[in-house]
Amino acid sequence: MKRKLVLVGNGMAGVRTLEELLKLAPDMYDITVFGAEPYGNYNRILLSPVLAGEKTVDDIMLNDLRWYADNGITLHTGKTVEQINRARREVVATDGTTASYDCLLLATGSNPFIIPVPGHQLPGVITFRDIHDVNFMLDAAKTHKSAVVIGGGLLGLEAAYGLQKLGMDVTVVHLLDTLMERQLDKPSADLLRRSLEGRGLKFLMQAQTESILGDDHVTAVRFKDGSEIPADLVVMAVGIRPNFALAKQAGLHCERGIVVNDTMQTYDPRIYAVGECVQHRGIAYGLVAPLFEQGKVCANHLAHLGYARYEGSVTSTKLKVTGIDLFSAGDFNGDATSEDIIYKDPGAGIYKKLVIKDNRITGAVLYGDTIDGSWYFDLMRNETDISDIREDLLFGQSHLGDSGHGEDRIAAMADSAEICGCNGVCKGTIVNAITANGLFTLEDVRAHTKASASCGSCTGLVEQLLASTLGSDYSQTPKKKSMCGCTDFTHDEVRKAITDNGLKTIPVATEFLEWRTPDGCHQCRPALNFYLLCAWPGEYQDDSRSRFINERVHANIQKDGTYSVVPRIWGGVTNPAELRAIADVAEKYNVPTVKITGGQRIDLLGVKKEDLPKMWGDLSKAGFVSGHAYGKSLRTVKTCVGSEWCRFGTQDSTTMGIKMERMTWGSWTPHKFKMAVSGCPRNCAEATIKDLGVVAVDSGWELHVGGNGGVKVRATDLLCKVETMEQVLEYTAAFMQLYREEARYLDRTAPWIERVGLSYVKQRIVEDAAGRMQLAGRFHESQKTAQVDPWAERAEGIDRDEFMPMKKVG
Amino acid sequence: MTDWFEIGAMTDIPRLGSRVVRTALGDIAVFRTATDKVFALTDKCPHKGGPLSQGIVYGERVACPLHNWVIQLDTGEAVAPDKGCAHRYPVKVEDGKVFLKLRGTVVNIADYAAAAQA
Ligand SMILES: Cc1cc2nc3c(=O)[nH]c(=O)nc-3n(C[C@H](O)[C@H](O)[C@H](O)COP(=O)(O)OP(=O)(O)OC[C@H]3O[C@@H](n4cnc5c(N)ncnc54)[C@H](O)[C@@H]3O)c2cc1C
Ligand code: HEM
Ligand code: SF4
Ligand code: SF4
Ligand code: FES
């Protein structure tokens, strides 16, 4: 028989837990839900835009009544549970409805706090928590003129903004001299206040409410100093209190909220609790992101999987007032041991402050320009050492390496502005998808709109849109990010487990790490394949089934299903015989397009899959090997003509490039890896936008790392200068090996170096000579088995089936 | 004439992989899962026609190589939130041999008959 699960509290945290549970174990429980409100589950966060008339109640429904029916869930709307009988394992609602449980989930949210001043019960005094409150305010605005909002925090300001848009005359009353003091410091709060005043809101700061006046309806608010302001609507938005009365009455241990452990269980292990009503490790959260993480863990435990634990969240906030960009995270006030970096441009309405402690960001407040909020937040969560980028930090991520990303002030962008250039998705489409489909995370947006799903350079913009639409980006809070949906382990944890435990095949690794899926997915399998290949060179048998098609068939698939063939041309130097051989092959196989690539070689486009092995055979006979133009691997080494011909040349860059390419070809890397060598600082080979760029100078060679071209150009950082060609080779091998061993799969060198810090790379490659030699040694070791030409092998018959139809019919 | 075509041995298809059967009406992708279940779909992704046979197979799903739509092998349906369906062909395995049923699934029988005779 199915077990019985009862949920009390039909809100965001509780229902999210049910959704997660249904994904993991759809048939395990008979589920009954009690909700005090007369609706399905709606997106409480979006009540503010409903109040502001920017959305309707229908727009913000997350789970309508159909959803409950479709999933076989019994829903009691409008019924408040007033008693839990733990001995009989039964809950009782005020109308007498009962339900018995094997497991009980409490998600009763919180109650708005009401200051018990005289007059607080008068008609016309309201809080801001649910649909009822919003409807009340919408009605009030039709007949009344002046409103007072008590509380200048997030909620109060959103209420004030909404009421003002409805045409009311609004005064915000705040006890302190800083608005949103839990998210902002004084300078940013002042900017915010000025901007809101510019929109017509009035503020009364440092004012303590003494009483609310009126006979049968409110008429005014009086303060301690004796002053009064008239009001026909008073909104109390002074904070929330976790709602744990029911739990307490049932004898569960409560402090500031219902106390739960890391698996979201209360002191009675049959009773779980999630959401704003709980207190976990001393903290009660008031934002959705942590609640969703709690829901995930709770569902996991309810499904008897038992591997997930909730370890707390780091949160960040945004204010959802249209046109105001504001971001806050962490300890933004700092203390005696921290220092602040501040950027101020009051004329432009911009203020940025980062709090730094031990070279790590511990807090951030951004006002006016928040595009880098998610980047700072990432640096903060990853505890990245920022000493290398400190001078440029406040100018933002795009300033590193001097990029031009174009528009970056998301609030100022038109709905028709294109956000994702790869998939042609514009701002309006994303915002609509977020609200219409109830999306919360970057992954959700990627899945629904394809925005940011390709090259990812617009990720920051999409995160901004999520944040400005919902008040936070919910994919951000987990302290660690798992590799994919198949596991909760991070890339780094998986790699460590592979080497520490001698895991040598994908099935062994996924079994050891308790993967949730039998054979992984298209995200984790290629990553695992690379990690194993890197950890056990020569020993690991490459799993072609875990390679993307291009790497499996050693050619790039084109949009019409044909392939391109790019033979390696060492250092971009060729000769008539080679050119003739390429020309012959192109004619023999009717290659429709022959193109010179930006990597200084020749691309034969439009080749049929069946022709590939024969064509490679011919190229192989002429001395060519694969150019790996298709792989997460060494691509090209671009060179200039250098001192051999050029009047400016200081060194023989061409020979250097050829040596580098001969040494490194065939190696697999976390993402594509490109190199270039220029013969003098004029840098004709564009070495400073490569993963590793070498620039010759009179006295030797400069090594530059971490550059890339593309959507978001990033120039390299100087690693060091060396004197001889042998040294260039040694450092190159060591750098590539460090990248191979420590970057996450699909990280190019730039984001990897930004994460670990250039100092770290310098320490490993430049300062630690013995370590460098070991890295280079491991690189050469792995090259012994990697430098086998995949084309020649296939021309000789390996994987023949891959290229032939199984059967032709007709 | 029988409806079922023998297309080869199951072991001709790699586990977690796919092979193509070329017909006059277009390519058909025949998949084999880790547990030796066999499925057949038209080799055209419902998104923009990507060759599904070239995707990464896991569970009873394949990820299209062009833009990573995930297609359910048993139904041909795209996994939500994407919407679309790849045509499905009946397959069966007997004595280690794979049979594909083309007739009845072909829209234009005349085309098909002409193709079969050619
Ligand atoms: C106007 C507004 C704006 C917000 N903006 C943001 C934002 O920008 N970003 C952000 O992250 N968060 C925001 N929040 C906070 C966010 O909405 C809450 O953190 C979240 O909804 C809490 O989820 P929950 O499930 O714990 O509680 P709730 O969603 O409140 O759900 C609890 C439900 O349980 C019901 N209930 C309680 N007791 C009982 C009982 N005994 N029997 C039956 N039913 C019961 C309640 O009626 C309620 O429906 C905002 C909140 C409001 C009100
Ligand atoms: C960001 C995502 C990128 C994608 C999706 C991408 C995609 C591709 C593809 C599909 C090809 C192969 C074309 C073929 O089949 O012949 C290619 C080739 C190439 N790309 Fe990109 N590219 C990207 C970024 C870049 C960047 C940043 C640069 C350089 C600044 C670049 C430079 C090249 C060059 C030089 C080639 C020719 C390949 C060779 O000679 O090996 N690409 N790219
Ligand atoms: S980089 Fe210097 S050496 Fe190379 S071609 Fe340009 S000017 Fe000549
Ligand atoms: S080759 Fe590169 S730049 Fe050109 S269309 Fe393809 S991805 Fe875009
Ligand atoms: S063609 Fe298959 S995902 Fe685009």
Reported ipTM: the value is 0.82
Does residue B117 lie within any of the structural domains? no
Per-residue model confidence (pLDDT) at position A422: 60
Structure-block tokens of residue A44? 């409480």
Q: Which domains does chain A have, with CATH numbers?
A: 3-110+242-302 (3.50.50.60), 125-238 (3.50.50.60), 403-476 (1.10.10.1100), 482-547 (no CATH), 550-626 (3.90.480.10), 634-786 (3.30.413.10)
How far, in Å, are A543, B10, B58 from residue B35 at the CA level? Answer: 17, 12, 10
Q: What is the mean pLDDT of residues A352-371?
A: 89
B12: domain CATH number is: 2.102.10.10
Question: Can you tell me the mean pLDDT for A513-535?
Answer: 92
Domain presence at residue B26 = yes
- What local confidence, expressed as pLDDT, does residue A55 receive? 83
| pLDDT value at A612 more than 70 | yes
Residue B39 lies in a domain: yes
Q: Which ligand is nearest to the CA of A607?
A: 2
Confidence at residue A240, expressed as pLDDT on a 0 to 100 scale: 92
Q: Where residue A810 falls among pLDDT bands split at 50, 70, 90?
A: low
pLDDT at position A457 is 60
Quick check: A277 pLDDT over 50? Answer: yes
Within 6 A (CB) of ligand 5 lie B 45, 47-50, 64, 66-69
Q: Which of A501-505, A542-546, A711-715, A733-737 is modeled with the greatest confidence?
A: A733-737
Please check the confidence at residue B110 and state whether its pLDDT lies above 60.
Answer: no
Q: What is the average pLDDT across A34-42? A: 95
CB B4 within 8 A of CB B100: yes
In this prediction, residue A59 carries a pLDDT of 85
- Stated as kind and residue range, the H or E segment containing A91 is strand A90-93
Check residue A664 and give its pLDDT: 97
The whole-number pLDDT of residue A742 equals 95
CB contact under 8 A, A807 and B21: yes
Residue A329's pLDDT is 86
Most confident of the following: A100-109, A456-465, A513-522: A100-109
Residue A255: name the closest of A275, A276, A286, A284 by CA: A284
Q: Which residue on chain B is closest to A552 by alpha carbon?
A: B54
For the ranges A154-158, A391-395, A443-447, B1-5, which has the lowest average pLDDT?
A: B1-5
Highest mean pLDDT among A56-70, A389-403, A576-590: A576-590
Over residues A258-268, the mean pLDDT reads 95
Q: Report CA A536 to chain centroid distance, whole Å.
A: 31
Query: Distance from the CA of A638 to the center of ligand 2, in angstroms?
Result: 14
Partner residue facing A809 (CB), from B14, B59, B102 = B102
Q: Give the residue, A561 or A185, on which the prediction is more confident.
A: A185
Whether the pLDDT of residue B107 is over 50: the answer is no
Task: Show the domain range for B90.
Answer: 2-112
List, as one string, the DSSP characters of B17-74.
Answer: EEEEEEETTEEEEEEE-TT--EEEEESS-TTT---GGGSEEETTEEE-TTT--EEETT
CA A196, CA A118: separation in Å to the nearest integer? 30
Contact A805 B22 (CB under 8 A): yes
pLDDT in tens, A77-92: 999 999 999 999 999 9
Q: What is the pLDDT of residue A423?
A: 64
Task: Calculate mean pLDDT across residues A747-751.
Answer: 91
A87 by Cβ neighbours in 10 Å (0-12 / 13-18 / 19+) ranks as exposed
Whether residue A735 has pLDDT greater than 80: yes
> What pLDDT sits at residue A477?
47
Q: Among residues of chain A, what percentage have pLDDT more than 90?
A: 65
Mean pLDDT of chain A: 89
Pick from A581, A782, A588, A514: which is nearest to A669 by CA?
A782
If pLDDT is split at 50, 70 and 90, which confidence band does A617 have? very high
Residue of B nearest to A448 (CA): B81
Answer yes or no: pTM beyond 0.80: no
A254-268 average pLDDT score: 95
- Ligand number nearest CA of B44 is 5
* Strands A673-678 and A634-639, bridge-based pairing: parallel
* B35 is a domain residue: yes
Q: Do A519 and B34 touch (CB under 8 A)?
A: yes
Above 90 in pLDDT, residue A616?
yes
Q: Can you give the pLDDT at residue B81?
A: 78
Q: Residue B40: its pLDDT value, please?
A: 95
Q: State the average pLDDT over residues A594-599.
A: 94
Confidence at residue A369, expressed as pLDDT on a 0 to 100 scale? 81
- Structurally, how many domains does chain B consist of? 1
- Return the residue matching tokens 């062994």: A508
The whole-number average pLDDT for the span A16-32 is 93
In a domain? residue B31:
yes
Higher pLDDT, A373 or A220: A220
Lowest mean pLDDT among A41-55, A63-77, A589-603: A41-55
Q: Chain B interface, mutation test: which of A519, A521, A523, most B Cβ atoms within 10 Å?
A: A519
Q: In the predicted model, is pLDDT for residue B113 greater than 60?
A: no
The two beta strands, A202-204 and A169-173, are: parallel
Does residue B77 sit within a domain? Answer: yes
Could you say which residues from 23 to 82 on chain B have a Cβ atom under 8 Å away from some Cβ of chain A? 23-24, 27, 30, 34-35, 48-51, 54-59, 61, 63, 65-68, 70, 81-82
In a domain, B46, yes or no: yes
Confidence of residue B109 (pLDDT cuts 50, 70, 90): very low
Q: What's the pLDDT score for residue A375?
A: 79
| Residue A308 or A705, more confident | A705
| Interface test mutation site (partner A, options B5, B18, B22, B64, max chain A beta carbons within 10 A) | B22
Mean pLDDT of the region A7-16:
96
A687: closest CA among A676, A698, A674, A702? Answer: A676
What's the pLDDT at A238?
A: 93
Does any domain span residue B118? no
Task: Closest CB to A806: pick one of B8, B67, B82.
Answer: B8
Q: Sort strands A563-565 and A602-607 into parallel, antiparallel or unpaired.
A: antiparallel
- Is the confidence at residue A409, as pLDDT, over 70? no
- The proportion of chain A whose per-residue pLDDT surpasses 70, expressed as a percent, equals 94
Give A-chain residues touching B49 at CB under 8 angstroms: 561
pLDDT category, A157, cuts 50, 70, 90? very high
Contacts of A245 (CB under 8 A, 6+ apart): none
SS3 A533: helix
Q: Spell out a b/e string for A265-285, using b for 16 or more CB atoms within 10 Å of the CB, else e.
A: bbebeebbbbbbbbbbeeebb
Higher pLDDT, residue A744 or A482: A744
Q: Residue A711: what pLDDT?
A: 72
As separate numbers, helices (DSSP H) first and strands (DSSP E) second, chain A gives 25, 39
Element housing A299 (H / E): helix A288-302
